[in-house]
Chains A and B, each alone.
Chain A
């Protein structure tokens, strides 16, 4: 019975269908299935599958995003149940995401946020044009493990370094790890500014974030 339901859960994530993922999440509660198992044995399987398919060039960004959204919708139903049981979902880590000051490009960063939260990270996305003090302030406030910063312009990517320098000055590293991304970001740049991680795309970002948390697949 539950095996069949798990399959349907994975499938609705692959289909990117939030209506069905919510429906199935509710059904699992009615059937008194354990919410944690529902997530890991059902929905997460779908997210992992679509991520792999994306890596293989078989799935595309809309499918990835819709899968992430369907996952979020299911989790939103299941999380209160977990709390009722006095349990919390074991999050892989807490992440603060932002596009740096002076830069308003956020498509890539939002994508990273979607995939991180679908993969089990707690994500706070501050949005665009965020100065260093705001990013660091939020990271301290929520006790973040990782700060992820995006920049699309060479004129703004220098801001990534500013945040890292500020973190170093405050002695907040290596407690807080830093991931960077964006069109002009190269490995050289990552080494130069001493960031902890970098990825070309959202799926790679999940992998890096897991590595930084010591929870690589």
Chain B
């Protein structure tokens, strides 16, 4: 039995859905994308030409919910379905779109470039806790026009895992969709076994921006999975109450699903978000706040009553260092996300309100994820009797004898998660002998080990050539002749 955390009663969920339908009509949804407005108008929705506000009837939401797939998979490079969106499956991936990286030596937050993304990819690739990679940081060493597609290019070259990504413009989302097709060999191949999913954000409150809605439409038409990341901020860009915020989140997701399914019924889309409270002292959006985890758990519960696949942003911290605050916020929030049965939990590795990434934090967070996954593995019944069968003639009121039992040898790996060297269970003497390191110090060592053991996956040279040629073409269109040199990949 997978343990579950639920915060809402059925009655409250029914009220959330009811008021979300009301919000879709009044005040309605502001739709800043002309094509989306045209689709709405064609579907009989009243769209105010002055304000661009669409009044979306519940019937249209019901229709969209009928055509939405209730589950789908992301595939790794070898074509294995490794990420399951649907039910109570739980996966984690590193947070996306960081703009700085924690320098483990100077502790400065350095502006991110190509080498930093590759560092994060190498580490995450070798940690089984991460079922997917992400386009983790922006590479500021390439022109802005190609920053979106370039991140995806680097991940495709350095990883075999599925990818959580996203685009910042309507132009680049199409380029990235095309890149996936080119890499897979055809648009059909990319659609049949999707490698990547794209985060798409509405703007709170109740706005689908030009590029948000445009991205949804492009992804739906291409059949590439989209992940709606609604970001209500309680008390600033959403009602101060959790229930008010979750209701707004529901309305924003409903509107997104309608736009998406109007563009192409049956395309895969996920009920996701990065809800947070608004800190009333600092004006910040704390990702590590317990209320943020409660919002996410709540909206996931709403999604599950509709049988929608789910996503959220947890496992991150607002701390600037990989310190005690980072550990407790990331660990607790990852645990809440897992107990909420959320299909994809993004955010690991991230500090400073999702602005800063850290490879060292990725390896610490991997331990938190292991704990969370162990927790949802639940307490299992392995044996016919619970305890009496263990007490055979060899156990004579003596400790230690259980070590001699075959069952112990057979079952301890299933019962106990074995942490990596990042978790300290040494004696004080051994700990001192190993350098008296704290978790961050041990994480630095582990990162260095992983960087040393990394081998770039073997990818079909023809695919690599197509991918590189495509990227180079985009680069030239951006007015640049060369891309940064890569340590592990030298194009012919």
Q: Which residues of A contact B (CB under 8 A)?
A: 57, 60-62, 104, 107-108, 111, 153-155, 183-184, 201-202
Contact = CB atoms under 8 A, between A and B. Distances in A.
B283 A104 contact: no
Given A107-B233, A154-B138, A184 B203 contact: no
Contact of A201 (B209, B233, B283): B283
Range of interface residues on chain B?
Answer: 20 to 34
B199 to A, nearest CB: 15
B138 A155 contact: yes
A202 B283 CA distance: 10
A26 to B, nearest CB: 30
A107 B353 CA distance: 16
A21 B186 CA distance: 66
B252 to A, nearest CB: 14
Interface string B103-146: 00000000100000000000000000000000000101000100
Contact of B203 (A60, A61, A104, A153): A104
A183 B353 contact: yes
Contacts of B99: 153-154, 184
A107 B209 contact: no
14 contacts: A57-B281, A60-B280, A60-B281, A61-B278, A61-B280, A104-B209, A107-B278, A107-B283, A108-B283, A111-B283, A154-B111, A154-B138, A183-B353, A184-B355
Contact of B281 (A61, A107, A153): A61
B236 A107 contact: yes
A52 B158 CA distance: 52
Contact of A155 (B147, B203, B282): B147
B144 A155 contact: yes
Contacts of B355: 183-184
Nearest to B169: A102
Contacts of B147: 155
Contacts of B278: 61, 107
Contacts of A61: 236, 278, 280-281, 283
Given A61-B280, A184-B99, A154 B140 contact: yes
B328 interface: no
Contacts of A155: 138, 144, 147, 168
A60 to B, nearest CB: 4
A66 to B, nearest CB: 12
B87 interface: no
A79 B1 CA distance: 68
Contacts of B237: 107
Contacts of B203: 104
A201 B279 CA distance: 13
Nearest to B99: A154
B235 interface: yes
Contacts of A201: 282-283
A5 to B, nearest CB: 31
Contacts of B144: 155
A149 to B, nearest CB: 17
A60 B283 CA distance: 9
A62 B138 contact: no
A129 to B, nearest CB: 9
Contacts of A62: 235, 280
A192 to B, nearest CB: 12
